[in-house]
Amino acid sequence: MAEQTTTQRKAAAKKAAATRKRNAAAKKAKAAETSAKASETRAETAATTAQAAATDAVGAGRLTLDSVALQAERAVLIPVGAALVARDKVLETARAYSNRDTAQKELNKFERRGAKARNDARREVKRTRTRVERELRQRRTAVQGRVEDVSGDLRTQVGDVQANAGDIARKVQERVAAIA
């Protein structure tokens, strides 16, 4: 590569300096623009926050008023609703017994329900009785087995005691006879 002349070096240096100067100016302009935009955004955020705070303050008063109104409305609606439910039940009952056929159907329904409850109770009592009787039989059998075991052991021990008593009596008689 050929060497540059002084004039060429100066021209290249001026060109590079001009480029750096332009880049620095553009960078400063961009920084100023960014700073201005950030300031504008902060101002908008502050305005929005202030507006929201004012709206919240108004809303809080409205919210308190709304909640009081809602509670008052509930205090009125609850007894009205309870009265309407009671009225519906009375009408339903009156409708069920308004003519002979529907009254007979209702009575038959009650009778079937009562019979079912009675039969269920009987079944439950029978099941319980059977279970208790089975447990008693099992316990009685176990106790009888234990009694028979103890009786057998007792008979064996009584026989052993009688045999030992006979042996002891014979030995005592022999010793008494030997002494006498």
Residue range 9-54, pLDDT digits in tens: 888 888 888 888 888 878 887 887 888 788 888 888 877 887 877 7
Residue 101, in any domain of the structure: no
Phi, psi (degrees; rounded to nearest 5) at 115: -65, -40
Does residue 59 register a pLDDT over 70?
Answer: no
Residue 82, in any domain of the structure: no
Could you tell me which residues come within 8 angstroms of residue 22 by beta carbon, excluding any fewer than 6 positions away?
none
Q: Which domain holds residue 30?
A: 17-45
Task: Establish how many alpha carbons lie within 13 A of residue 129's alpha carbon, considering only the half-sphere containing its beta carbon.
Answer: 6
Does residue 60 register a pLDDT over 70?
Answer: no
In the chain, the number of structural domains is 1
Could you tell me which residues come within 8 angstroms of residue 103 by beta carbon, excluding any fewer than 6 positions away?
96, 97
Residue 31, in any domain of the structure: yes
Residue 155, in any domain of the structure: no
Residue range 92-143, pLDDT digits in tens: 888 877 888 888 988 899 999 999 999 999 999 999 999 999 999 999 999 9
Residue 38, in any domain of the structure: yes
Residue 30, in any domain of the structure: yes
Residue 32, in any domain of the structure: yes
Residue 1: which pLDDT band, with cuts at 50, 70 and 90?
Answer: low
User: Tokens 């009408």 correspond to what residue?
Assistant: 91
